[in-house]
Structure 1
Amino acid sequence: MTTPPDLLDFSGRRVLVVGGSSGIGNGIARAFLARGARVHVWGTRPGAADDANEPGSQLDGLHYTQVDVADTARIAAVPLGFDRLDVLVQAQGTVLYDRQECETAGFERVLAVNRTSLMACAARCHAALKAAVGAMVVVSSAAAFHSTRGNPAYNASKTGAFGLTRALAEAWASDGIRVNGIAPGLVETKLTRITTAHPKRLDAALRRIPLGRLGTPQDMAHVALFLASPMGKVRKDISAVKAAMLRLLHDIVARALHPHGSVGVSQEMPFAGLVNRAFQMGLADGPTAVHKATVARQLLRGYQPSGSLFPACRRPTPARAAREKFKAVLG
């Protein structure tokens, strides 16, 4: 009996992890190394030996290069050291607290690292990825889908990262390059210590997580391995498909239930309940507009608009008119 190939074996493959010196990026880099890949890492520390004792940072066995990705000129000039690249993982990221992101300098700094550098690194590695018919994985954040009070730059940058992932997934498909995104929730890294090292904040965060635990860099690494492996070839831009479906649901519900495009809170079924039902029903992965419309119909079947759906300051659309709007939206 023939032994099936190990689809997560990256022996002989070359991987570059931008932001791979700590946190999620380091977890991903070490996962690829453990699977046989030759792994290159870009980070901001002067050398691999610097901050070697920092938790969540292990650079032994990795090929390290200092690159400040906030400097696009540095990205364009850095020698790659290879002509073919099988996997590019972009896990760079920063955040500023104490309302520093509300100042122009702080805002621009965060966007330079979290958003602009993604395109700069992608462009720098495009030829090598094309030569290897490779894959790119962009690590964004669940903050792309909700507000983050006090961190406008982080929020804007992660939303932009999500949009860039979708755009490059389509633009580079003809080159054979697969582009996918990961949008982690709360993962324990040095960037999240403001929450994880504060007992009250941590407890509040854990209460909002169904599993009752933080994510880990290893959790994210498992997803990155899958997306970069042959198993990831069956689906294009997974996060974009799911988020596009959710946006379509939001548009449909908003247009159908409120003339001003706003959905309020309902004790019977808050909007979050609609989203949760999508995943519970196993309907969250359809890639086509037809499938998404089918999802929306099933979710909204029996979902009757009522006065409690709308903010007090808004005038609700009558139920009959809402149903007619819903039909018009779906066609």
Structure 2
Amino acid sequence: MSNMFKLDGQTAVVTGANTGLGQAIAVALAQAGADIVAAGRSAADDTRALVESAGRRFLFVEADLSSTAPVQHVIDAALNFQGRLDILVNNAGIIRRADALDVTEEDWDAVLDTNLKTLFFLSQAAAGHMARQGAGKIINIASLLSFQGGIRVPAYAASKSAVAGLTHALANEWAAKGINVNAIAPGYFETNNTQALRDDAQRSEAILARIPAGRWGSPADLAGAAVFLASRASDYVHGIVLPVDGGWLAR
């Protein structure tokens, strides 16, 4: 059974892998045997060290994923790196907090472009190659706000709800091509995106009180879900949005 979760000889592209959830996913995939291509704006030296300490190869591709301009460059770099592309993790994302009455068009477009538009076109470019090789795994990072509305993050909620819908839609089209498209919906994790919430004592206490597990998530808590969805163990799993939330949605 353990062989079902091995990723030996595979190449994974992980966007936004320099810190937080993306870094944890990249390291987990490397520990399972995959070589890692990390794409993003910021250098991923810490991630490189962790991946290489797991005995896997690592490539950083500088790419501003707020637009679709670098999409083909990222995919080409991955193919040139190891000659194959097996896994794409669409983790890069941004959040802008403001009352809905005060959201600017600039902030709305920035969030939707990064969290949804680039995600789709990266998936499209990767899937073109995966379809030719007859196999591939695409893992989108959704959110609890794929199910709920949240507070003061209307653009983020819209983008993550759309990511869930897009995950279903792409699974419907690409499952027959051997491509698994699924998503992980993280709950409240200790990352840069939640720093403002954790710094607000009242809001942090209210969030923690609702999590049945009794704690904020650690990025490492995503490791098992990511490896499962990237591996042969999930070959007949298509179009799911898997919450990893300490029980938040069950409350």
TM-score w.r.t. the length of structure 2 is: 0.85
1:124 is matched with which residue? 125
SS of match in other structure, 1:59? helix
Distance 1:77 1:10, change over 3 A: closer
Distance 1:204 1:142, change over 3 A: same
Q: How far apart in 2 are the matches of 1:41 and 1:115?
A: 19
SS of match in other structure, 2:88? strand
- The CA deviation at 1:98 is 4.0
Distance 1:5 1:103, change over 3 A: closer
Q: How far apart in 1 are the matches of 2:44 and 2:93?
A: 19
Q: How far apart in 2 are the matches of 1:20 and 1:42?
A: 7
1:73 is matched with which residue? 69
1:89 is matched with which residue? 89
2:21 is matched with which residue? 24
Q: How far apart in 2 are the matches of 1:180 and 1:77?
A: 24
Distance 1:152 1:98, change over 3 A: closer
1:7 is matched with which residue? 4
SS of match in other structure, 1:73? coil
1:310 is matched with which residue? none
Structure 1 window deviating more from structure 2 (30-39 vs 93-102): it is: 93-102
Alignment check: 8 A CA contact 2:149 2:157 kept: yes
SS of match in other structure, 2:3? coil
Q: How far apart in 2 are the matches of 1:165 and 1:178?
A: 10
SS of match in other structure, 2:186? coil
Q: Which runs of 5+ in 2 are unaligned?
A: 53-57, 244-248
- The CA deviation at 1:11 is 1.4
1:102 aligns with 2:103: yes
Q: How far apart in 1 are the matches of 2:153 and 2:103?
A: 7
Q: Deviation string for 1:45-98 (max 9, x for gaps)? A: 1x334xx5xxxxx33233111111112122134433415211111111100124
SS of match in other structure, 2:69? helix
Distance 1:142 1:99, change over 3 A: same
Q: Which runs of 5+ in 1 are unaligned?
A: 53-57, 243-274, 278-331
Q: How far apart in 1 are the matches of 2:188 and 2:113?
A: 22
Q: How far apart in 2 are the matches of 1:234 and 1:175?
A: 12
Q: How far apart in 2 are the matches of 1:70 and 1:15?
A: 21
2:235 is matched with which residue? 233
2:152 is matched with which residue? 150
Q: How far apart in 2 are the matches of 1:99 and 1:65?
A: 35
1:1-331 to structure 2, matched below 5 A, reads: 6-45=3-42, 47-49=43-45, 58-60=47-49, 61=52, 62-78=58-74, 79-82=76-79, 83-99=83-99, 102-130=103-131, 131=133, 133-239=135-241
- The CA deviation at 1:236 is 2.0
- How many residues are paired up? 233
Q: How far apart in 2 are the matches of 1:84 and 1:129?
A: 9
State the structure with more CA Rg.
1
TM-score w.r.t. the length of structure 1 is: 0.66
Q: How far apart in 1 are the matches of 2:225 and 2:88?
A: 14
Indicate the percent of aligned positions where both proteins have the same amino acid.
Answer: 31
- The CA deviation at 1:188 is 1.0
SS of match in other structure, 2:139? strand
Q: How far apart in 2 are the matches of 1:59 and 1:98?
A: 35
Q: Deviation string for 1:119-148 (max 9, x for gaps)? A: 111112122322150111111001011112
Q: How far apart in 2 are the matches of 1:182 and 1:5?
A: 22
1:259 is matched with which residue? none
Q: Counterpart amino acid of 1:84? A: R
Q: How far apart in 1 are the matches of 2:165 and 2:227?
A: 22
Alignment check: 8 A CA contact 1:172 1:178 kept: yes
Bigger RCO of structures 1 and 2 (CA < 8 A, at least 6 apart): 2
Q: How far apart in 1 are the matches of 2:233 and 2:64?
A: 33
- The CA deviation at 1:26 is 0.9
Q: How far apart in 2 are the matches of 1:95 and 1:11?
A: 34
Q: How far apart in 2 are the matches of 1:59 and 1:39?
A: 9
- The CA deviation at 1:215 is 1.6
Distance 1:76 1:234, change over 3 A: closer
Q: Deviation string for 1:257-302 (max 9, x for gaps)? A: xxxxxxxxxxxxxxxxxx959xxxxxxxxxxxxxxxxxxxxxxxxx
- The CA deviation at 1:15 is 0.8
